[in-house]
Chains A and B, each alone.
Chain A
Amino acid sequence: MPDRFGSVAFAYGRFMQVTGLTTSFGRTIAVNDVSFSIDAPRMIGVIGRSGAGKSTLLRTINRLTPATSGQILVDGRNVLELGGAAMRRWQRDCAMIFQQFNLVPRLDVVTNVLLGGLNSHGTLASMFGMFGSDRIERALHALERLEIADLALQRAETLSGGQQQRVAIARALVQEPEMILADEPIASLDPVSAETVMTALRTIHERNRLTVICNLHTLDTARRYCDRVLGMLHGRIVFDGAPCELTQDVVREIYGTEQDIDEATTSTSLTAAAPVRLAHAAA
């Protein structure tokens, strides 16, 4: 049944409920009492000013940054309380994409992609770099999906930003995650690469039925690619709704400004903003 965000709820999507999540560094409260829930695979955009807590929110969900209080329930268990192997298993389930790609610069592309599967790989076997043909095949397949299979043997550091980000997405796919957390994935890319990367994330969301939570610094990208938008200001969620509900008043509130924001100025897209919906979503 179509819900208020216009997508179909998939029966096997994981239910995630964030309640009262707070993350502070000393006296700075980066994420302040954040609550929201995801009941079906969505493409969610998180917008807000620099320092609003968008990155910290994603990093807290992935357990890269420890939360101060609150809980994140996934299938009825609080992932913030997991430790050791169970925590790493959760990290595998929610793949992270970074603004700076975070690849291993001196390793070749296919090895970087293979590293996405480290969690399901025995430590001893992985220590000797024995990946096996199955894993290599899966890595190559992921690279093919992102149309960069021809770069497989190049060193990651020799690639352009857009190519590196696609390698990072391929690595995330090899993780076989249930969710992708993308922290400003296009903030350091040119418009063409940005479009390729966002389309790739949208495709993965639709084909693999994965929730994608994506921090974005431009409004028009959120409008074009996302089904749902969270607006953050000073660590709090001040807006949670469909992109079409983002009126100028709401935008002013999210960005904490008195003036109207001209999206054409901040836009990084090549064409005018029009929602991108691939074949799947139309169904």
Chain B
Amino acid sequence: MMQVAGPALDLSRSERRRTLYSGVLVLVLATLLAAGYGQANDMNSGGFVQGLAKFLDYPAEIALEAWTARGEFAGLLLRFLPALLETLNIAAVATILGGICATALAFLGTAGLGVHPVLVPLARRLMDVMRAFPELIIALFLIFVLGTSPVPAMIAVGFHTAGALGKQFSEVNENVDRRAVEGLQACGASWLQRMRFAVLPQVLPNHLSYFMLRFEINLRASAILGFVGAGGIGSELRRTIGWGKGAGDETAALFVLLILSIFVIDQASSWLRGRITGAGQVS
């Protein structure tokens, strides 16, 4: 009797302990949240509850001003197009340069593809470091050194991209069919040839969609960097938002441009992916 009850008793005891731990954890989190809210509310100029009522005021104001200026809205879009192009440029250069570094780091940082075992953790830690720095910090530092221009933004965004995209690429690389790699190794193909012909065709569609997603993310990141002097659509946004009343139509036009660009990139991504998965050819 005791032999049967022994393990069962242990199980129910550990079950009860787990429940207790979960309960304590929830309680601690709830206390932290409540305390944090109280503190933040005391320090804020406005209150959270009063602010909630005005939550939609600013967006409504922008929409209203845009509606009032609907006649000239197309003109506004056209006027900000150069700024958008500059931001798109920053994002594109950063994504392409960062993507090239990411591809190299990802192949070096994937175990089991024939890379020297010492290089794999090195490449991974390097990607960790590159990811750890927020773009904004790197950009602020580079703007301080190189002056206000789009170049610091490109470097900052590209640096972060190499780390972030490299991690995603290397996770895709880990799932390739190793038999194909082995097949080419047995033919006497060099490491580069094995990566090019056995791994790349398998990972290209996924790399491409991560690449295009990163391009979208970088477009947004480049826009933010405009706030600290990197030019482009971000500088315009800082101006119109900083002015407050009266520039709502311009703010709206800038957002419309950003949103449209994301739409275009997303569509291009699906189209490219379809092309690549459909054709079956790498070249």
Q: Which residues of A are at the interface with B, using a C-beta cutoff of 8 A?
A: 62, 64, 87-93, 95-96, 98, 100-108, 111, 115-116, 118-119, 121, 123, 126-129, 155, 168, 171, 175
Contacts and interface: CB of A to CB of B under 8 A. Distances in A.
Given A118-B193, A126-B196, 17 more contacts: A87-B188, A88-B189, A98-B179, A98-B182, A102-B182, A102-B183, A104-B201, A107-B282, A108-B280, A115-B187, A115-B197, A118-B184, A126-B193, A126-B197, A127-B192, A127-B196, A168-B183
Contact of A118 (B180, B189, B201, B283): B189
A16 B193 CA distance: 29
Contacts of B177: 105
By Cβ-Cβ distance, the 8 closest A-B pairs, closest first, are A102-B183, A119-B188, A92-B188, A96-B186, A91-B188, A129-B283, A88-B188, A118-B189
A123 B190 CA distance: 8
Interface string B181-216: 011111111101100111001100000000000000
Contacts of A128: 283
Given A62-B186, A91-B186, A119-B187, A100 B179 contact: yes
Contacts of B12: none
Given A64-B186, A103-B180, A123-B190, A111 B202 contact: no
A123 B281 CA distance: 19
Nearest to A121: B193
Contacts of B183: 96, 98, 101-104, 168, 171
B281 A108 contact: yes
Interface string B164-186: 00000000000001011011111
A64 B188 contact: no
A105 B185 contact: no
Contacts of B198: 104
Nearest to B280: A155
A138 to B, nearest CB: 14
A128 B179 CA distance: 23
23 contacts: A62-B186, A64-B182, A87-B188, A91-B186, A95-B186, A95-B187, A96-B183, A98-B186, A100-B179, A102-B183, A103-B180, A105-B180, A106-B202, A115-B189, A118-B187, A118-B189, A118-B190, A119-B188, A123-B190, A127-B192, A128-B283, A168-B183, A175-B188
A98 B181 CA distance: 12
B188 to A, nearest CB: 4
Q: Which of A100, A104, A126 has the most CB of B within 10 A?
A: A104
A104 B177 CA distance: 8
